[in-house]
Amino acid sequence: MTVLAAVGLLALAGCTSPTGDGAGSPSPSTSPSASPGQSEEPTSSASPTGETLTWGPTEGDVAAATALAAGMSPEEVAGQVILARYPGTDPDAAAAELTQYDLGGLVVFGANVDSTEQVAQTAAAVQEAQADLGRDWPAIMAVDNEGGLVQRLSAATGDWTSFPPFMAAGAADDAAVVSDAAEAMATELRATGINYDFAPVADVTIGSADPVIRDRSPAGDTDRAARAVEAAVQGFADGGVLSSLKHFPGHGALTVDSHEDLPVQSASADELAERDLAPFRAGIEAGAPTVMMGHISVEAWDPGVPASLSPEAYRVLREELDFTGVAITDGLDMGALTQTRTSAEIAVEALAAGADLLLGPVDVAEAHHGIVSALEDGTLERDRVDEAAGRVIALMQWQEQSAADAGAVDLAESESGAQASAALSEAAVTIVQGECSGALAGPRIHVRGGSADDWDAFVAAAERAGLQVVPLEQPADTDVRLITGATPSGTGDVAVSLDAPWLLTGTDAPVRVAAFGRTTGAMGAVAAVLAGEAPAPGSLPIDVEGLAATAC
């Protein structure tokens, strides 16, 4: 059996239990008095009594998981609330990192990826280490896969599909297409042992003045952003992978990068609720199991304190948005925090404020020791840490069951990712200036702008659509200009923005098209529109001065 096939079977239930029965989540049969990793004989496949929570488990499931956490040593419970990076690409090194600190799980970054097979091997090694720790719930294997520029696992790094940036979802404004794309991404991730994706982005962007989120956001329009987030959450759930709304309470309206410094949100509480919080509310109501807390100071809540460390921010999330799932911090290695605090101080402050899961401390050993010490001296209440760890355990028990419900996956045999990515791009492509029917270019075209890779990909797509790309020294019917962040201006008969749509204000081309991405599907969608073979059903999800939302 190949490693991918083995991980595909493992992903059927997220992780097999130590007994190897693969029967799904052990949470319904776990005794509140059992020690970690031990459970009674199942009595029923039904959940314990108690209200079913929006994000999946019942109140009884969470209570039982919290009791498991209460039976852990301080070292074990401290590790359970940490999600850490790990070094290199060696599966054994990843497993050792999990074991050394009793971690709740690990995060895959680009430096941890050699190939699809290697990621699958790493996930399998980590789950084996989890079982060796006596835990009968899966360890977290997480990744940042939004689509666009933020996609650690893509066609560039292995056999995964590349997806367009999430703004394509806002441009498409088609719940079925957006949900299908999220489900396809989730299915591919789960096929290689990934069970948690830090997506979708719920930030409402202000556009070109936004230095960080930009086309990672679904829209500048609150309602459209909310619809995209809701659809994506449903898609991830259908694919059996955990999703995470980010970056609460919204990073898209800020002009300071929290990777470097602490942004300040000066909007009133009412303005925040009406604009920035609405997509988070929609995602929570759709069943999002986790929310990522941004390192953002909200003057109306807790001036000078990052939301990730602010008790008031967690209160708003819990009481005003009725969120009962896992609150995870944004990366604890970001400048907004590390300029003023140590890893231990950050970890303790975040947990005390209300965080359940700590993402990526700079110094895992220091953060872990800080939590243990704070438990011992009373700085942290044990009940608060048990509550956090219990939510994380219940989260992973639920993921195991939802993965089993979603069914086995085999990346090598699936074409759904490429189809769903292309469908999203086809629904998103937008003509903001020009005719809406008939050919917009050709049959002979010049192609200018973009990188060498962009040029090659677009030319291939154009030729598949029946357009003839000719050398610049030969006559052509149409000059097509590719507009990107690196090549943001230029003239031509047709301008195609592969990045953010507001770049189209930098050209005087009479025909302007927003592609929302440079994937194979996005290139194909634009080429088909230019050749007159397909409509352009999308519309700009953000107001851009001087541009219509759509010409069609």
Give the residue among 512, 532, 341, 539 at the shortest CA–CA distance from 434. Answer: 512
Query: Do residues 409 and 38 lie in contact, with contact meaning Cβ atoms separated by under 8 Å?
Result: no
Both tokens assigned to 338: 């590390």
The contacts of residue 325 (CB under 8 Å, 6+ apart) are 53, 54, 55, 284, 288, 289, 290, 291, 391, 395
Query: Do residues 500 and 485 lie in contact, with contact meaning Cβ atoms separated by under 8 Å?
Result: yes
| Ranges assigned E (strand) in 257-350 | 264-265, 290-293, 297-298, 326-329
- Find the Cα–Cα–Cα–Cα dihedral 147, 148, 151, 154, rounded to 10°: 90
User: Please, is 146 exposed, middle or buried when counting C-beta atoms within 10 Å of its C-beta (0-12, 13-18, 19+)?
Assistant: buried
d(CA 5, CA 12): 11
SS3 track for 40-65: CCCCCCCCCCCCECCCCCEHHHHHHH
- Please name every residue paired with 107 in a beta bridge, in sequence order, or none if there are none: 142
Query: For 71, which DSSP code?
Result: T
Q: Are strands 290-293 and 244-248 parallel, antiparallel or unpaired?
A: parallel
Q: Which residues are catalytic?
A: 259, 330
